[in-house]
Amino acid sequence: MKNHLRIGAVSYLNTKPLVHGLRERLGGFGELTFNLPSRLADDLRRGKLDVALIPSVEFLAERSYQMVSNAVIACRGPVWSVRLLSRVGANQIGRLALDEGSRTSAALVQVLLWEMHGLRPEIVPLSIDQSPEHVDADAVLLIGDRAMHPPPRCYREIWDLGDRWCRWSELPFVFALWVARPGVDTSGLSERLEASRDDGLASLEEIAARDAATHGLTNEDLFRYFAENLHYTFGVGEQNGLAEFHRRAVSLDLIPHYDSSIDLRSS
């Protein structure tokens, strides 16, 4: 019998179509658990997980990881669930609070602030249970479910980071991908992951009806979020977007520099 894989997925709304029916589809093939993106990346690195849906920046920074599926979390325009909220003009941000659940979006906002305004702000953490209202910073980065319900305060500028990246780069952006640690036998896994993704995309109305109310959204809002704000397949555009993000992040020393080009092909 094949090894029993320990598989970790993101616990945010944006993952719902990717993992639709996945636990049942895995059966005895693997065990599925959920956590924050940054914690999944830590558990994968420490060997507590064999496969995980991790922030794309973590994949780009660790050359031994291998993509195991073309099922990803990406966008081709506004993403809604990744936002920069600034109390000053974006070109005046000196102190930036980053949601601790994020690593890809944390790097993305720094890339955009540098490329658009030549800024390298001081970085401070924003914990998962900390209110953005109480952090001492000019701007805050929010991701996931709480970014979809920003605090009731007047901000001078609000950026949807998906929209900003896609307009600036004219490329899609990839937030998370399924990857495996080196030496892990993942044969047969990609078919299960992609079948769950495909079933999820065919069941968006059902997923929206099930999860919308508990997240303070209407069924229509959640359906449109899945169908219009997110993209779940790693195509040529996503490959080019991820490669461009890699180049920009390396140039700012946000991830290590490697001489060889990164392999963006899923197995």
pLDDT digits (tens, 9 = 90+) for 140-194: 999 877 888 866 667 899 999 999 999 999 999 999 999 999 999 999 999 999 9
**pLDDT value of position 45:** 94
Q: Is residue 162 part of a domain?
A: yes
In angstroms, the CA 75 to CA 174 distance is 7
39 and 162 together in one domain: no
Q: What sign does the dihedral 55-217-226-32 (CA atoms) show? A: positive
**CATH for 106:** 3.40.190.10
Q: Answer with the one of 169, 184, 212 that is the final residue of a domain.
A: 169
**pLDDT value of position 24:** 95
180: tokens are 């495996």
**pLDDT value of position 226:** 97
Question: Please, which residues have CB within 8 angstroms of residue 237's CB and are 6 or more apart in sequence?
Answer: 76, 171, 172
| CB-count burial class (<10 Å; 0-12, 13-18, 19+) for 259 | exposed
86 and 34 together in one domain: no
Pairwise pLDDT comparison (266 vs 213), residue with the higher score? 213
135 and 194 together in one domain: no
In angstroms, the CA 160 to CA 124 distance is 20
**Percentage of the chain surpassing pLDDT 70?**
94
58 and 177 together in one domain: yes
The two beta strands, 157-160 and 82-86, are: antiparallel
What domain count does the chain have?
Answer: 2
Give pLDDT tens digits for 35-74: 988 889 999 999 999 999 999 999 999 989 999 999 999 9
The two beta strands, 139-143 and 95-99, are: parallel
Q: Answer with the one of 145, 169, 193 that is the final residue of a domain.
A: 169
What pTM was computed for the model? 0.92
Domain with 94 in it:
82-169
Phi, psi of 73 (to 5 degrees): -110, 115
67 and 184 together in one domain: yes
69 and 178 together in one domain: yes
Q: Which amino acid is it at 35?
A: N
58 and 186 together in one domain: yes
